[in-house]
Structure 1
């Protein structure tokens, strides 16, 4: 049995939550299979078996969706690294790997478009090029039978709207989820308030609208509350799991507290969220009414398990959820049972020996 486009729409209409694990780009970079800076998914054609494994990891952690890893797998980005000839092969390979895992586990199968890097407001020639890029990717996705198409990380409403138009025109009725990257200001780079941009995308036919990437949990939540007030249908939230603040709203702006240097992209580990941060975000998002929920760049399986459990799921990975009562040194904090050696070790570990 497999999911379908109608399953996706019906689940939304029924008020069900859709959990989606993203973050393939950063996680493959962290594992040494993707070049930060270029950010292109060459791993899809070089190590397809690893892409399948990561899909399996995210399903194990509770994802309802298997999204083909095609982020920045479009013509313009592949041209930069001299691999434009691999465009069709990369997209079709990514789709087939994702489809295999999705159908195996009865999960939703999705494809993602993303910001083109060449869109320019008012530039008809550039935007015709973007349309062609979107068209070819959408048609490959439809051929493989995706349940829905994601358009994500758009900083300009114009490009987000163009992606939605292309999905409607070339997607053979497949639903669209469109999300915007909100950087420092609460407006798009073509000067539209984010809440208004989401409303317009919803009114023009997007099944789900909202935010992905750029902001961390703490800086995304206030804007999500405003979007919830503005939009009538399901809203999306996929923050990056980094400790953004009012001073540094986007993870691209975060600085090293020691050196003052920007951390993006390769030194962000020092400002990662804790598991407690992810749980707090999930609780707040659930209270707001975020129905389409996930994590973006920086996500990994144990983070996603935290989110899934807050949303009421018990994925296979929950079998391995932390239980400090089983720890030989710190377990007494849960059980009240201790021994002299454990107590002494704790004193030494924590530096509290008198």
Structure 2
């Protein structure tokens, strides 16, 4: 089967975008929380390939090259700027290898750029630095042959516009996603729906939101974006139980924690008790699809099982759907007629 482009897939239905590699690889022991630099692409390429593979088999239509935070500023902070280009190229090449393994249709491969944390709307020099950082990363993506650029987690509208402009210079399709912090407005004064409208009108193929917010505190803004934007829209929340009082995962409290946390908050390494289960995430995915969100996934904290639940909720059968839960033969909760009745009688007391 000929590999369809992102736009072709969007025209035909929902596209599932599985990410969340930052937390997943930290959990697996291959990435340092705090600096969150994806050195795994060079140090443990097999671990990265396996993570890519697990998310693809769980239903992701795209293998997202893991270059989040692999920009010049982050590499400067950890003192490894000389690894910048090798890391980016390795992450993309590994993604391309895995994408070809898809048994029915080769997965898309997306290059990845993200917020730089140095953008300052009052500092023209910072804007040029950001532009240069994006330009070199997107240039490597173009040379390595990615299908599109997934640009994400921008909390400044203008930084997102710069990202779009640099993507367009390379002639690549652009997905532009915004990260909305607790102020409920982007830091340079734009609402997310206004920003998305501008970005869509400027030529982004998909606009929307990712990260920071869980489904409950992202969905109201996705609804606003969907009403205001005529093009394709995306939503990739974190899988955590954010609330109106605590709209992002940066300051989520855990009232049940009895130990001393080494950080002031549960973010980033004590969020496990605050996670949504896969069924709640599936319900959100249905809601997102029903209002017309086209590009659906999960961000930091996602697991392959969560991505599979999201994909299946959108009506898709994944490579690994054959491993989806089926309690029919469970010794306590099953309904198979060959199960022992004395075990089934005991299940309410177990």
Give the C-alpha shift of residue 114 in structure 1.
0.3
Alignment of 1:258-297 (within 5 A): 258=256, 262-297=265-300
Alpha carbons of 1:17 and 1:335: their partners in 2 closer, same or farther (altered >3 Å)?
Answer: farther
Q: Distance in 2 between matches of 1:291 and 1:338?
A: 46
Q: Distance in 1 between matches of 2:217 and 2:297?
A: 15
1:250 maps to what in 2? 248
Correspondence 1:88 to 2:85:
yes
Q: Distance in 2 between matches of 1:90 and 1:337?
A: 53
Counterpart pick for 1:240 among 233, 238, 241: 238
2:328 maps to what in 1? 325
Contact 1:28–1:34, Cα closer than 8 Å, also in 2: yes
Contact 2:17–2:62, Cα closer than 8 Å, also in 1: yes
Q: Distance in 2 between matches of 1:183 and 1:141?
A: 29
Give the match's secondary structure for 1:316.
coil
Give the C-alpha shift of residue 347 in structure 1.
3.9
Alpha carbons of 1:336 and 1:231: their partners in 2 closer, same or farther (altered >3 Å)?
Answer: farther
Q: TM-score, normalised by structure 1?
A: 0.93
Give the match's secondary structure for 2:98.
helix
Counterpart pick for 2:317 among 308, 314, 317: 314
1:115-144 deviation per Cα after TM superposition (whole angstroms, max 9, x unaligned): 011111031111111111111101000001
Correspondence 1:211 to 2:209:
yes
Aligned length: 342
1:352 maps to what in 2? none
2:8 maps to what in 1? 10
1:162 maps to what in 2? 162
Give the match's secondary structure for 1:319.
helix
Q: Distance in 1 between matches of 2:24 and 2:36?
A: 11
Give the C-alpha shift of residue 182 in structure 1.
1.1
2:349 maps to what in 1? 348
Contact 1:153–1:213, Cα closer than 8 Å, also in 2: yes
2:261 maps to what in 1? none
1:178 maps to what in 2? 176
Q: Distance in 2 between matches of 1:52 and 1:10?
A: 26
Contact 1:19–1:292, Cα closer than 8 Å, also in 2: yes
Q: Distance in 2 between matches of 1:201 and 1:210?
A: 10
Give the C-alpha shift of residue 232 in structure 1.
0.2
Moved more, 252-261 or 97-106: 252-261
Q: TM-score, normalised by structure 2?
A: 0.94
1:113 maps to what in 2? 113
Correspondence 1:298 to 2:298:
no
For structure 1, which runs of at least 5 residues remain unmatched after alignment?
A: 350-354
Give the C-alpha shift of residue 259 in structure 1.
5.1
Contact 1:2–1:103, Cα closer than 8 Å, also in 2: no
Give the C-alpha shift of residue 23 in structure 1.
0.4
Q: Distance in 2 between matches of 1:2 and 1:141?
A: 22
